[in-house]
Amino acid sequence: MKKIRVSIEGDGRVTIKLKKTRPVVETGGAGRVLAAAGGDLLLSSSLINQMEIRVESVFRPGQGDVEIAYALSGSTYPDMLHKFSSNEVVAHATQDRIITTAEKMAEHILRERPDAPNIIVGVHTHPDGAAELSGQDKSSMPRIAAKLKERIAGANVVFAVHAVSRESPRARAQPAKVAVNRIKWSSITRTHEVAFFNEKAEPVGVSV
Ligand SMILES: [Zn+2]
């Protein structure tokens, strides 16, 4: 008999899922279909809260804003945030650096998770910038996706740009979907906007 896991998210949503008995590893090129609501990536409020903390915690008074990278992973939807050390920044790097980073990302994710994930979201920040892919982002994504799929077979690889504003006092605004592939919210000091894409730079739907 299969075991069922029931969990209640911070926002009161109840999730029921079959418990896996062993990590699922699939060979063959095509990733699995995203098994979330209407095919969207479903982000819980607790995960969004972790994204906010991850990004805001790197800023230091009087110092320039730095780009950082982190990842989300999950089986049916993202349920874990992986914070990489600051010297493993993906964005706008050389090709060698991107390959190394993708390999480290995969290693790190597999070490932190109890199972092999079906979904991996590679995120990097654009401090004081737009939640849009740069030319370099676009050109690096297919290589990063290929490297990640080489290490974690069958995974759906998604990319996200996390734009964060400069610091100034503001009212907190709850996460909301502002476009098919975009969510936006504000902490009391910064506005956050995150946009999701596949490796071909096409929008990936997201829900909160
Ligand atoms: Zn970028």
Summarised one tens digit per residue, pLDDT across range 51-73 is 999 999 888 877 777 788 899 99
Would residue 14 count as lying in a domain?
Answer: no
Check whether 20 has a pLDDT greater than 60. no
Q: What is the pLDDT of residues 114-166, one digit of tens each?
A: 999 999 999 998 999 999 999 989 998 999 999 999 999 989 999 999 999 99
- Residue 172: give the domain boundaries: 26-207
Distance 122 CA to ligand 1 centre (A): 11
Would residue 118 count as lying in a domain?
Answer: yes
Would residue 17 count as lying in a domain?
Answer: no
Would residue 37 count as lying in a domain?
Answer: yes
Would residue 16 count as lying in a domain?
Answer: no
Would residue 145 count as lying in a domain?
Answer: yes
Distance 163 CA to ligand 1 centre (A): 9
Distance 124 CA to ligand 1 centre (A): 6
| Number of separate domains in the chain | 1
Question: With helix as H, strand as E and coil as C, how does the chain read?
Answer: CCCEEEEECCCCCEEEEECCCCCCCCCCCCCCCCCCHHHCEECCHHHHHHHHHHHHCCCCCCCCCCCCEEEEEECCCEEEEEECCHHHCCCCCCHHHHHHHHHHHHHHHHHHCCCCCCEEEEEEEEECCCCCCCHHHHHHHHHHHHHHHHHCCCCEEEEEEEEECCCCCCCCEEEEEEECCEEEEECCCCEEEEEEECCCCCECCEEC
Would residue 67 count as lying in a domain?
Answer: yes
- CATH code of residue 86: 3.40.140.10
Would residue 9 count as lying in a domain?
Answer: no
Q: What is the pLDDT of residues 68-120, one digit of tens each?
A: 889 999 999 999 999 886 555 444 545 555 666 788 889 989 999 999 999 99
Distance 48 CA to ligand 1 centre (A): 19
Distance 95 CA to ligand 1 centre (A): 14
